[in-house]
Amino acid sequence: MRRAILAFVTFVATFSFAPPPLHAQERAVERAGDHLVLPAPKTGHARPLAVVVADSAGAETTDFIIPYTVLKESGAADVRSVSTLPGPVHLRMALQIETDQTIAQFDVATPEGADIVIVPAQAEPRSPALSTWLQAQARRGATIVSICEGARVLANAGLLHGRRATTHFSALSELERAYTDTVWVRDRRYVQDGPIISTTGVTASIPVSLALVEAIAGRDVALATAQRLGVSNWSSAHRTADFQIMAGDYATGVFALGAFWTHETLETPIADGTNELALALRTDAWARSFRTNVVTTRAGLGAVRGHYGLMIVPDAAPRRGAHIMPATNGPAATQLDATLVDMRNRYGAGAERIARLGLEYDQPRARPPQ
């Protein structure tokens, strides 16, 4: 119940600002193409070192896990996870992880800094420790990539001054008012301005991660990675106006939250080798229904090492007679669509729509970009 309340408060706060009309000038500026440009790896790095960072107060689940797993799957980069402090990090909307290093440990082990730093949406976007560390990484020449409302973190750190950027559709108007020295872009899933790359909402983590793979290792590697994951398209094409919160969506959320007798806990067992990408998409979507408390379980409660090497901390031991999260089949990235169908069948079309809005999830497209 507590998680559902927190989720709804986040939903209302997130969607307090309806997106304004599209800006023709922004559309004209942002038709330059889908290809990202990255500098060569730093001296001593055989291939780029990509770091995904979380403030220890928490980060968004899919924002964090997707770039980590896609880059690992590609083999194009060395990938590490870091957090501001030691100990488990609670990801939102679900899951707990343990990162490879703290930022202090990373700095000692890698004084030259990362080549790429990926910044998910954070529970504390004004975290002084995170801001200071990102500023230092930028000075050392890292390309900084914000996912979704990770743009808040970059803006607060002063890294978007005089640059173009994008973020979750619901935050654009607010951030335009708060950070007037940044040009906030619509109708693009991801935007590059020099050493800064930013994306729209949560599921933009998939296309931007593949665009990073293509920038590092070429189109053939990106295509092969996308095919293994079940992704058909990583184009930056996007229509911001397709995403608007309506009165009916608020009503759906209020009813779902208030109808406590319909709430349920869905357990998802985890073990060594669990596919973190599929797990993130499934749990993140289910947790946005305002009816579901998602719990990862494992007998013994010890952390498990996922397929891509991320340490996942279970929430609880399995319970006899518990509802198990519906299983989905197919490549990891396709499981989001299957999960949304399961949600619609279980809770109705309103719950699926709220999840799509929160994830800013475009309908799948038939073919990869040319």
Listed range (159-173, 218-232, 281-295, 355-369) with the worst mean pLDDT: 355-369
pLDDT score for 254 = 80
Pick from 65-74, 142-151, 205-214, 339-348: least confident = 339-348
pLDDT at 258: 76
One-letter amino acid identity for 307? H
Q: Band the pLDDT of 201: cuts 50, 70, 90.
A: very high
pLDDT, tens digit (0-9, with 9 covering 90-100), for 213-223: 999 999 999 99
DSSP string, 11-49: HHHHTSSPPPPPPHHHHHHT-S-S----PPPPTT-SS-E
Q: Could you tell me the CA-to-CA distances from 229 to 186, 212, 330 in Å, in that order?
A: 27, 15, 9
Region of 154 on the Ramachandran plot (φ > 0 left; ψ -120 to 50 alpha; else beta)? alpha
Average pLDDT value for residue range 63-82 = 98
DSSP tag of 167: -
Query: C-alpha angle with apex 129: 160 to 359, nearest 5 degrees?
Result: 60
| CA distances (Å), origin 31, targets 185, 192, 208, 320 | 11, 12, 16, 55
pLDDT for 164:
98
pLDDT surpassing 90 at residue 366: no
- pLDDT above 90: residue 231: yes
What Rg do the C-alpha atoms of the chain give, in angstroms? 19
pLDDT score at 246: 85
The pLDDT of residue 123 is 97
- Confidence band for 5, pLDDT divided at 50, 70 and 90: very low
Q: Which among 213, 327, 329, 194 is positioned nearest to 266, based on CA atoms?
A: 327
pLDDT at residue 11, rounded to an integer: 44
For the stretch 306-318, pLDDT in tens is 999 999 999 999 9
Cβ–Cβ < 8 Å for 314, 283 = no
* Number of residues that this document lists for the chain: 370
pLDDT in tens, 254-312: 877 777 777 899 999 999 999 999 999 999 999 998 889 999 999 987 999 999 999 99
Cβ within 8 Å of residue 31, ≥6 positions away: none
Q: What is the pLDDT of residues 347-361, one digit of tens each?
A: 999 999 999 999 999
At residue 10, the pLDDT reads 44
Q: Is the pLDDT of residue 336 over 50?
A: yes
Taking CA atoms, 172 is separated from 62, 167, 317, in Å, by: 20, 6, 41
Class of residue 324 by CB neighbours under 10 A (exposed 0-12, middle 13-18, buried 19+): exposed
Provide the pLDDT for residue 214.
Answer: 98
Predicted pLDDT of residue 60 = 98
Return the SS3 of 67: helix
Mean local confidence (pLDDT), 158-170: 98
Most confident of 215-224, 335-344, 360-369: 215-224
Sequence letter at residue 53: V
| pLDDT for res 2 | 42
Do 268 and 283 contact (CB within 8 A), yes or no?
yes
Which residues, in sequence order, are CB contacts of 359 under 8 Å at separation 6+? 62, 201, 202, 203, 284, 285, 288, 336
pLDDT (0 to 100) of residue 364: 54
- The answer to whether residue 68 scores a pLDDT higher than 50 is yes
Mean pLDDT: which of 19-28, 207-216, 245-254 is highest? Answer: 207-216
Range of weakest confidence among 51-65, 66-80, 332-346:
332-346
Residues forming a β-bridge with 82:
53, 101
Residue 98, pLDDT > 70, answer yes
Count the helices and strands in the chain (H runs, E runs): 13, 17
Secondary element (H or E) of residue 224: helix 219-229
Domains along the chain with CATH numbers:
21-240 (3.40.50.880), 247-359 (no CATH)
Quote the pLDDT of residue 267: 95
